[in-house]
Amino acid sequence: MTSKTVRKVIFGLHRYIGLAVGLMAIIVGLTGSLLVFQSEISDFQRHNQIGTIMPKGEMLPIEVVLNTVKNSYTNQPDAKINRIYVPTKPDEPFNVIYATKENDWIENYVHPYTGVVLGNSLNSNSIDSFYKVIYELHYSLLVGDIGYKIVGTVGLLVCILTITGIFLWPGWRNLLTGFKIKLDAHPKRVNFDIHKVAGVIAAVFLFFTFFTGFCWNFSEFSEPLIRAITFSVKQEPVSQYIPGQSPLKLTEQLKTAQAQLPDAELRSVYFPQKPDSALMIRYKFPQEKEDGGNSYVYLDQYSDRILQVDNALKPLLGDRILNSFNPLHYGTFGGLPTRILYVFVGLAPLILFITGFVMWQYRKRPTTNLFTEAMPTAKLSDHHRHRNN
């Protein structure tokens, strides 16, 4: 197979994948742009909802906070605690997540010094509701589990698009040509130039975001594969279920967990959702950049037995790769500049689809039509006179 034939095959692959998944990639990209600064906007809206928290001595123990929230759900026997986020700043509330039959994610904001429940996400404003829809549209197209897999598949196909696009980029032959845009040229050429420049600038970042999204949406396959390739295989931590026995108090479990990572700060606790699930406690070392931390202690919920410890300062290669997904997907690896960049990266699928579609439309027209459309009126008449003579 000649290089010309290979290029033609890759070009066809690039074109038809782009036409097939372009609209869904646009939705994922635009919603991604809206979500880049979601946490800051949500924190601002939450502050307006619950007011200012004035630090008053020591924060309340976690179990006191949990009991307070539990009491507010006494009329909902189906309510179940999911997790709790510990304040990272003196003026932040505890955030206790509950699930009910009607809503599987209810955030309850608790004053860290008085224990008063300040509000919850059910009483939040339209901005929070808007972002909830945007988030679900981003990762599942608002159609549940099947949408979750569709978005994951789109992520994989966009990765193929970026690879084929990089291969086809004309800048490999001439660097200047690869970044040049001729705005006074034929519309097909203008769109081609915009397509190639926008594509090569955004390609690496698009690959990061869509590849990590694909891995997350198909984590049941991607994570075991990554761990197997990197020789970082782990067994899922499991509690030894004892019928009739209640889980240990959280205070005791936290002491056991903290002893494993004495220099790390508690960030959140994920409660078992099944009788044989492990209690997962998340920590952050001062050296870590990830706000939530990437260190975990897994405990048997019925005893103080340590099932697994993931130290972010001593990670396995598989853990290092998986931990890199968050900063690569959200653009936090370079701080504020890369997060701003990711807002524009989310616009790239729209630009690439429009310019690609215009080129495809022009390609369907006869060559004579393209030629005549590109020629000024005066020159066009001269051209016909010359041919007639």
What is the per-residue DSSP string for 14-79?
HHHHHHHHHHHHHHHHHHHHHHTTHHHHHHHHHHHHH-PPPP-SSPPPHHHHHHHHHHTTTT-TT-
| Interval 284-320: pLDDT, tens | 999 998 889 999 999 999 998 999 999 999 999 999 9
pLDDT reading at 368 higher than 70: no
What is the reported pLDDT for 163? Answer: 97
pLDDT reading at 367 higher than 50: no
Q: Are strands 94-99 and 80-85 parallel, antiparallel or unpaired?
A: antiparallel
pLDDT reading at 381 higher than 70: no
Q: Is 274 helix (H, G, I), strand (E, B) or coil?
A: coil
Residue 371, CA atoms < 13 Å, CB-side half-sphere: 7
What is the reported pLDDT for 364? Answer: 61
- Band of pLDDT at residue 384, cut at 50, 70 and 90: very low
pTM of the model: 0.86
What is the reported pLDDT for 42? Answer: 87
- The DSSP-derived string for 121-187 is GGG--HHHHHHHHHHHHHHHTTSHHHHHHHHHHHHHHHHHHHHHHHHH-GGGT-HHHHT---TTS-H
| Percent of the chain scoring above 90 in pLDDT | 80
What is the reported pLDDT for 242? Answer: 85
pLDDT reading at 328 higher than 80: yes
Burial profile 41-68: b = 16 or more Cβ within 10 angstroms, e = fewer:
bbeebbeebbeebeeeeebbebeebbeb
For residues 296 and 280, what is the distance between their CA atoms, to the nearest angstrom? Answer: 7
| Interval 257-281: pLDDT, tens | 999 999 999 999 999 999 999 999 9
Quick one: average pLDDT of 358-363? 88
What is the reported pLDDT for 362? Answer: 85
What is the reported pLDDT for 110? Answer: 97
What is the reported pLDDT for 365? Answer: 59
| Percent of the chain scoring above 70 in pLDDT | 93
Quick one: average pLDDT of 131-144? 94
**Per-domain boundaries in the chain:** 1-52+127-232+335-381, 54-112, 234-315
For residues 275 and 253, what is the distance between their CA atoms, to the nearest angstrom? Answer: 16
- Band of pLDDT at residue 389, cut at 50, 70 and 90: very low
What is the reported pLDDT for 46? Answer: 87
The larger pLDDT score, comparing residue 123 to residue 204, is at 204
pLDDT reading at 31 higher than 90: yes
Quick one: average pLDDT of 163-185? 94
What is the reported pLDDT for 123? Answer: 77
Quick one: average pLDDT of 199-207? 97
Quick one: average pLDDT of 102-131? 89
> In which residue are the tokens 């509330």 written?
93
Q: Which of 31-40, 48-57, 309-318 has the lowest mean pLDDT?
A: 48-57
Long-range contacts of 218-223 (CB under 8 A, 24+ apart): 218/149, 218/152, 223/322
For residues 182 and 193, is the Cβ–Cβ distance under 8 A? yes
Q: In a 10 Å sphere around its CB, with 0-12 CB exposed, 13-18 middle and 19+ buried, how is residue 174 labelled? A: exposed
Mean pLDDT for the chain overall: 91
What is the reported pLDDT for 128? Answer: 79
- Band of pLDDT at residue 90, cut at 50, 70 and 90: very high
